[in-house]
Structure 1
């Protein structure tokens, strides 16, 4: 089995919840993961492994719990899936201001009624679309002031973690470098 490059997204890092990047890189490397890199101190890592997704997830969760007391959701996405996430962006016009475009990786597909309810709170040019298990949010007046963004986490009804488009592209770059 050849190695897969994984993008690892830790939910809820920041504020009181810290996940120190240098010790995290060291622990992941010591656990046998290759090409380990992190991006900013907000819960993003890239690594490669020949282990299957479930085993990678389980080992990362174990390390984070034992070494850092981190018990929140961890989402892992293969590089090929991340490339698809970028290619399927339904709001290509929004990439001009990438901090206002977010991609949220979803644990499962949301119920149509949940998505419809979120669409109803969208205002001021806010837009949401779900493609597969990714929700795309465009908040042209700012994520922090958007009613859609405010209601998204609880409203979508499935576990999720979001990254702005700048971070999406940077993680793709790091993952491609890890692939070699």
Structure 2
């Protein structure tokens, strides 16, 4: 039997009219045999341990929430080690003091270089971004709600993704690290 890995599971498209009730999510994941399941706020975040690899875990969780909860959107998964690396590779350390203005997009796959270059050409105003593997970092000094650049990211890169602010990144890391 493989050793269990701690994972962070983030769901795309939660918020507004699309809800993913966390108590029900925890129950569904626990009933399927996942251990250490915890959720963080109502925006589609969970941590757990599993012997599955990342891709198999993403497929399994997506199947479960589709079948048991009627939620049919992308599920992105990172090991705690990769999540820690995403935090460590933050290219905007000066922005951590304003954690709601620093965002990390978890990408389903690394974007093509020409797509990143096309995105770079659209980066105007005060927003700054950097791509590190399967993560995109976005610093929005004027706030995400005021960003004219942020809505262009996914349509330009053409990669499924979901973003979390720096506070949520750290909270999810801490939750996953605390799994016994």
Q: Give the TM bin, normalised by the shorter chain.
A: over 0.9
Aligned positions of 1:19-58 closer than 5 A: 19-58=20-59
Q: CA deviation at 1:111?
A: 2.2
Shift of 1:155: 1.4
Aligned to 2:147: 146
Is the counterpart of residue 133 in structure 1 residue 138 in structure 2?
no
In 2, Cα distance between the equivalents of 1:44 and 1:37?
9
| Structure 1 residue runs of 4 or more that deviate by more than 4 Å after TM superposition | none
For residue 96 of structure 1, give the secondary structure of its aligned residue in structure 2.
Answer: coil
Note the C-alpha offset of 1:124: 3.1
The answer to which of 62-71 and 35-44 deviates more is 62-71
Q: Which has the higher helix share?
A: 1
Q: How many residues align?
A: 179
Q: How does 1:157-168 map to 2 (within 5 A)?
A: 157-168=158-169
| Structure 2: tracts of 5 or more residues without a match | none
Aligned CA distance change for structure 1 residues 133 and 41 (closer, same or farther; 3 Å): same
Quote the offset at 1:164 in angstroms: 0.5
> Which runs of 5 or more structure 1 residues have no equivalent in the other structure?
none
What is the root-mean-square deviation of aligned Cα atoms in Å?
A: 1.2
TM-score, scaled relative to structure 2: 0.95
